[in-house]
Structure 1
Amino acid sequence: MGAAHERGLGAAASQQNADADLDTLERGYGEMLGEVRANFNSGKAKSAAWRINQLKQIKRCIAENKDEMCRVMKEDLGRCKYEAIFGEALTVLTELDFMINNVESWVAPERQWHTLLVQPGYSEIRREAKGVVLVLSPWNFPVNLSILCLATAIVGGNACVIKPSEVAPESAKFIEMLVNKYLDTDLVRCVQGAVDETTALLRLRWDHIIYTGNGAVARIVMTAAAKHLTPVTLELGGKSPCVIDPSCSLKTAARRILGSKLLNAGQICIAPDYIITTPGYVEKLVPVLKETLVEFYGEDPSQAEAFGRIINERHHDRIMRLMDPSSHGGEIIAGGPDKADRASKYIPPTIVLNPSTDSPLMTEEIFGPVLPIITIDSIDESIDFIQSREHPLALYVFAENKDVIEKVVANTQSGGVCVNDCIYHITNPYLPFGGVGSSGMGCYHGKYGFDEVTHAKSVMHRSTMIDPSMRYPNKYNGEQAEKILDFLAKEGMSPATKKLIAVAGVSAIGFLLMRRSSRM
């Protein structure tokens, strides 16, 4: 009893020390947040010029430090120069240019239709920055996703505090360098750290939080945000299916699926997680997939410079558990756990045919270079299978048959869809990127990201030239209101006709005002 009692006291003391450390961190971050919020309240970030300057500074950082960016990608994720530039920089530069070219039009007030009831006058919408945005960025695309979320906050006119992932430490240092050397640190700060630092940050009141990662941490983020009624954007992931119809262009499909699946060794939130095809077509598909693997990485992918590594031993072990044949019961037709190497964090490109759909391989997000294939008899049954599971962040369909494409797109729910390719839908800044259900909430990229981190403030301007008596108490109000109700509720009058009548009313009011002013 004595030893147990002492262990209990020791655990309590450790918890008290941990709480004290968190309190200290919270106070320090609170002071930082107070400074940043005061600078935001000064109006410094309101102008389009300030936003454009900051976005151009991010571009400058990428241009001046591309070799360092490639080095940190190699250090953290074993990625080759091509992957580092293609995966981290090119899409970011496209997005930054899109923001720079459009922000002035986005910040301009948007004039809205002004109804007859409130004429004369005009209405508009003004997009206002929410305030100070907290960005919690991930480790898998540690430069790309950090910069995209940071740029989204900036283009909206917000201040921003970014916490890069400690799992990719060299990349986190790169982001800190970007912030401290190139950006306005009155309004943009970078915080380094791990769980304790994130926990302390989440105790504070932010005006918006952007989190990219997994569902378990997302629930923690949402719980913390709920205490302050802080809005959140969550980009999570899930198991993104890839439907292959026999009408597809097979060779192109195989190249695009594997090229996307194996980018960054499969550590991509929108990587095709598994393939669905028919039992008859799988016999044609498998040989082409195996040929494509050799084309991309040779007979031994461990020696291929273009093939990356798993981020750390913990994730290596997790993927190995999913690959264990005893856990999924499928047939390994390429790669496999026996060719993996924990010391170098290498897992080979692996294809598994018909694993159990109840196995961890088919219920957990893989986030690695393992591609299951399941066979289902028809497109309708494939749709039923997809819809029976959590909504994915992305869905892919390869087919030349337009009816098949439309059936899949129209009858499934997902964050986004790409037809006859994978991943590339996120490169179009005219499209929103975000999840649905367990794959996330909210969206960003382009104007959609600007809208996400700003508030649409309604503004109505009323004239004092006319002040109709019917809005004030008098004995005729009831009769006048009834006539208006009958007009608005009248069947058979199209919206265009009502609008035309409203325009005529506005014109009449304008004419009366002109006459009135000419007599004065």
Structure 2
Amino acid sequence: MTASGQLDTALARVQSAAIDGRMRNTRTRQKQLSSLFKSLTEHANSFVDAMQKENNLSKEEANIVVSAMLLEVRQHYENIDFEKELAQEYSVRWGKSWVDRRVAARLVYIIPQDFTKGFSVFSALSAAIEAGSCCVVELLNLSDQSTALIRKIMNAALDKEAFVAISSTAPGSFLKHCLMIDQMHQPSSPQYMGKSLISKASGRVVAVVDRTAKIDSAVKEIFASRMQYGGQSHYAVDQVFINEFVADEFLAVMREEFSVRAEAIDQTVNNGHARPTPSKRQTKLVADDCTIVDSQGNAEAVMVKLRSSQLLHEKIEGPLLVIHKITSLDDAIDLILSRDEQVNALFTFADGPEAKYLSQFIPSAVTFVNHIPAELLIGSAGPVGYPVRPDLRYVREMFEEPSPQIVPEGKIHAASNVWKLRNSPRSAAILAHASRPLRPTGQAAAGAWGFFETGVLLGAAVYLLPVILGTIVGATYTGIWTYRKVIG
């Protein structure tokens, strides 16, 4: 059979499984996740080796990524509550509405990113299994070890009719029936006709360090986000905007961090590959627009001099930390908003009021205050239009759509009952009832004593009244004393 014929057969098989509702059964979903977790644990060491070679990670970093992958599958398995789902399924049978009912997309098509590919695939796949979807994973015919492992695990652990890995892109006639999970999406990528979960791979991540920040903590968090995983994480800080009043302290702590972490930065993977480096174009921009704060091996921190530099407005590649001084919070806001685009994440290092102000006026998919979650640095960017969660990259609800089931209960008006009102005076009474005034807002009427005026009055009572009373008493006493002296 030709490659095209094999693809058509595989897609037809998974489409049939989706139509017959293969994954709707709760026990089936539990068994699939349990089998997947077991197979992943058996191949955990192989994934560690693959990520060391293909993503240039240290063994410790690869261990963390594989651990995160297993924890995601475990969480989706534990989220399934058989007794609760069974009770919900029979709600209508027992005359109860199920108003928050949701149904899973029948078919899911996953386009994974290459960075930590195993995590990228199985974080999405396990969420789809929890929801009850059949899945196709696009794994182009690459010779890398991660792709081979993913294929092997899917074939061994999952229902071969409900879950398929393919080595070429499916035709448009099939894709139009799928929920698309695109982790590689770029501005130039094609737009999908149906529902899709798109990760904005080109979205920037910025950090703002205010003068109220704890500088030592801010430097450590920002430095770790950029230097871990060779600077490949989608949520590594791309640009740091530091208040000029604390810039010198920030840079001093940054140099100290380079010194302390020198051995970890220099560490290379066992196969001798070097860490990822910035692109040649970004390297040239560094030479032209920046002064070097410190460097170690391929890692570098630079201070950008010119605001016209592209380094302040684009996604950074590799272990390159870009820093720029700001004069105030408004200056940071204006600079970040000079490009009309939402950032993927905003990390604010500041006291509460300043952090609130920044997050209010800088459009961002998510804001984190005074920390950078370690879980966020693994895998793809979160899908656009859904809350970013550090603990799970994908959640069940992303793969579902509302489909409530409602029985006649409470104050639901049946159509036949309303129809009976055609020649009845009751409709006028209903209109009068619906026209009742709205409840008051509780706001004081215009000219009434407000919070400020009440405060002034209270302050006067507390501070001025004793003085006035004391004056009156003193004057009275003096008058009596004088009278007695004169008359006596």
TM-score by length of 2: 0.78
Report what 2:110 is aligned to: 135
CA distance in 2, matches of 1:448, 1:302: 34
Report what 1:186 is aligned to: 161
Residue 236 (structure 1) aligned to one of 200, 208, 231: 200
Say if 2:56 and 2:268, in contact at 8 Å, map to a contact too: no
CA distance in 1, matches of 2:48, 2:28: 29
CA distance in 2, matches of 1:467, 1:83: 61
Report what 2:12 is aligned to: 34
CA distance in 1, matches of 2:258, 2:245: 22
Report what 2:254 is aligned to: 289
**How much has 1:441 moved relative to structure 2?**
3.8
| Structure 1 residue matching 2:207: 3-state secondary structure | strand
Structure 2 unaligned runs (5+)? 90-94, 442-488
| 1:406 and 2:366 aligned | no
CA distance in 1, matches of 2:139, 2:275: 18
**How much has 1:407 moved relative to structure 2?**
1.2
Alignment of 1:66-465 (within 5 A): 66-86=44-64, 88-104=65-81, 107=85, 122-164=97-139, 169-192=144-167, 197-198=168-169, 200=171, 204-216=175-187, 219-220=189-190, 222=191, 225-226=192-193, 230-237=194-201, 238-298=203-263, 301-304=265-268, 309=274, 319-325=279-285, 328-335=288-295, 348-389=298-339, 390-399=341-350, 401-424=351-374, 426=376, 434=382, 440-442=384-386, 449-462=395-408
| Structure 2 residue matching 1:265: 3-state secondary structure | helix
CA distance in 2, matches of 1:349, 1:391: 27
Give the counterpart letter for 1:198 in structure 2: T
Say if 2:366 and 2:388, in contact at 8 Å, map to a contact too: no
Say if 2:346 and 2:367, in contact at 8 Å, map to a contact too: yes
CA distance in 1, matches of 2:107, 2:239: 39
Report what 1:491 is aligned to: 437
Say if 1:328 and 1:356, in contact at 8 Å, map to a contact too: no
**How much has 1:55 moved relative to structure 2?**
1.7
**How much has 1:184 moved relative to structure 2?**
1.5
| Structure 1 residue matching 2:238: 3-state secondary structure | strand
| 1:480 and 2:445 aligned | no
Say if 1:137 and 1:165, in contact at 8 Å, map to a contact too: no
CA distance in 2, matches of 1:305, 1:29: 37
Cα deviation digits, residues 288-341 of structure 1 (max 9, x gap): 11221222233x944455998556xxxx5x6231121477511122239xx6xx
Give the counterpart letter for 1:434 in structure 2: G
CA distance in 2, matches of 1:325, 1:408: 28
CA distance in 2, matches of 1:405, 1:80: 34
Quick one: structure 1 residues 447 and 372, their matched pair in 2 at CA, closer, same or farther if it must change by over 3 Å? closer
Say if 1:164 and 1:172, in contact at 8 Å, map to a contact too: yes
Say if 1:235 and 1:434, in contact at 8 Å, map to a contact too: yes
Cα deviation digits, residues 173-201 of structure 1 (max 9, x gap): 12112211122212111123xxxx23747
**How much has 1:257 moved relative to structure 2?**
1.3
| Structure 2 residue matching 1:366: 3-state secondary structure | coil
**How much has 1:65 moved relative to structure 2?**
1.4
Structure 1 unaligned runs (5+)? 1-23, 112-119, 340-347, 496-520
TM-score by length of 1: 0.73
Quick one: structure 1 residues 460 and 453, their matched pair in 2 at CA, closer, same or farther if it must change by over 3 Å? same
Quick one: structure 1 residues 493 and 308, their matched pair in 2 at CA, closer, same or farther if it must change by over 3 Å? farther
CA distance in 2, matches of 1:277, 1:202: 51
**How much has 1:103 moved relative to structure 2?**
2.0
Say if 1:277 and 1:375, in contact at 8 Å, map to a contact too: yes
Quick one: structure 1 residues 411 and 334, their matched pair in 2 at CA, closer, same or farther if it must change by over 3 Å? same
Quick one: structure 1 residues 242 and 209, their matched pair in 2 at CA, closer, same or farther if it must change by over 3 Å? same
| Structure 1 residue matching 2:239: 3-state secondary structure | strand
CA distance in 2, matches of 1:292, 1:204: 48
Say if 1:138 and 1:164, in contact at 8 Å, map to a contact too: no
Say if 1:25 and 1:200, in contact at 8 Å, map to a contact too: no
Cα deviation digits, residues 370-414 of structure 1 (max 9, x gap): 111011100122122223332111110112x21111112222221
Say if 1:470 and 1:476, in contact at 8 Å, map to a contact too: no
Give the counterpart letter for 2:63 in structure 1: I
| Structure 2 residue matching 1:233: 3-state secondary structure | strand
Say if 1:52 and 1:100, in contact at 8 Å, map to a contact too: yes
**How much has 1:456 moved relative to structure 2?**
1.3
Say if 1:248 and 1:398, in contact at 8 Å, map to a contact too: yes
**How much has 1:207 moved relative to structure 2?**
2.3
CA distance in 1, matches of 2:286, 2:46: 43
Say if 1:264 and 1:308, in contact at 8 Å, map to a contact too: no
| Structure 1 residue matching 2:342: 3-state secondary structure | coil
| Structure 2 residue matching 1:262: 3-state secondary structure | helix
Report what 1:499 is aligned to: none
| Structure 1 residue matching 2:427: 3-state secondary structure | helix
Say if 1:132 and 1:206, in contact at 8 Å, map to a contact too: yes
CA distance in 1, matches of 2:33, 2:96: 37
Say if 1:30 and 1:204, in contact at 8 Å, map to a contact too: no
CA distance in 2, matches of 1:199, 1:403: 50
| Structure 2 residue matching 1:458: 3-state secondary structure | coil
Cα deviation digits, residues 461-500 of structure 1 (max 9, x gap): 237xx978642266425x43343233234223489xxxxx
CA distance in 1, matches of 2:21, 2:344: 36
**How much has 1:124 moved relative to structure 2?**
2.5
**How much has 1:369 moved relative to structure 2?**
0.9
Report what 1:503 is aligned to: none
Give the percent of matched residue pairs that are identical in Structure 1 and Structure 2: 18
CA distance in 2, matches of 1:262, 1:287: 18
| Count of matched residue positions in the alignment of Structure 1 and Structure 2 | 426
